[in-house]
Amino acid sequence: METGLSVLIGLFFAVSVYLMLSRQLVRILLGIAILGNAVNLLIFTAGRLTRQVPPLIPEHLYTLVEATANPLPQALVLTAIVISFSFFAFLLVLAFRAYQELGTDDANEMRVAEPEDDPLPPQGY
């Protein structure tokens, strides 16, 4: 089970890196979305995959009596999902605004902050 998921996570990372190396903002953003999911799966797998009952304590007892699934990775993944989703939403709006203002979604052509024909620094004193 772990092996299969590890391969899947590797594929996710490969796809996301490939997309993020692209020049188009939309592809970069898709790459980031996939990267977030790859990381979530990675945390989930790192927390061990076991087919166990949920960690619930029976009514008349005070401790767990049998092996249970690990709830912590799920809490971590949940946090990471919320965070990565909000960042993705922000970057999506940002990219759209940048496209509106700069007229391009090509990273090579986004040269407003660092113009290509920037003057040289003064040479003499």
Partner 1 sequence: MAGSSEHSVDLSHAMITAPVSAADWLVIAPTLVTILGGTLALMARKNTAAQPKIGMIFLSLLVIVNVGLLMRVLDHGVITMVMGNWLPPFGIAFTADALGASLSLIASIVAWCAGLYGLVTVDGTGRRYGFYPFLLLLLTGVSGAFLTGDIFNLYVWFEVLLISSYGLLVLGNDRAQLDGTVKYGILNLIGTNLFLIATGLLYGNFGTLNMADIAMKVAAMDAGGSVGPLATIAGIYLLAFAMKAAAFPVNFWLPASYHTPNIVVSAVFAGLLTKVGVYALIRIFVLILPGARDYMADVISLIAIATMITGGLGALAQAEVRRLLGYLVIVGIGAMLAGIAVGSTQGIAGSIFYAVHSIIVMTALYMAAGIMKLMGGSYQLRQLGALYGLNPYFGGLFLVLAFAVSGLPPFSGFWPKMMLVEASLVDGRGWLAFAILFSGFLSTLAVGRVWIFAFWRGGAEGTPDGATTVRLAPAPEVTSPALWLPLLLLTGLVIYIGLQPDAMVQLVQRGAEGVIDPSAYVRSVFGEH
Phi, psi angle pair for 53, to nearest 5°: -75, 160
Q: What's the CA gap between 36 and 12, in Å, rounded? A: 9
Rule CB under 8 A: is residue 112 a binding residue for partner 1?
Answer: yes
- Map the footprint of partner 1 across residues 79-98, applying CB under 8 A: 79-80, 83-84, 86-87, 90-91, 94-95, 97-98
Q: What is the rounded CA–CA span in Å between residue 68 and residue 112? A: 55
Q: Which of 51, 54, 65, 119 binds partner 1 (CB under 8 A)?
A: 119
61 versus 66: smaller Cβ distance to partner 1 = 61
In order of 15, 43, 57, 81, 90, the CA distances from 28 in angstroms are 11, 23, 45, 18, 14
Decide if residue 33 touches partner 1 (CB under 8 A).
no
Assigned token pair, 113: 């902050």
Query: How would you classify residue 48: left for phi > 0, otherwise alpha for psi between -120 and 50, otherwise beta?
Result: left
Q: Which of 101, 108, 116, 117 binds partner 1 (CB under 8 A)?
A: 101
Residue of the chain from 66, 116, 117, 118 that contacts partner 1 (CB under 8 A) = 118
Identify the residue whose tokens are 């592809």.
Answer: 27
Which residues of this chain interact with partner 1, rule CB under 8 A? Answer: 20, 25, 28, 32, 35-36, 39, 42-43, 45-48, 62, 72-73, 76, 79-80, 83-84, 86-87, 90-91, 94-95, 97-98, 101-102, 110-114, 118-122, 125
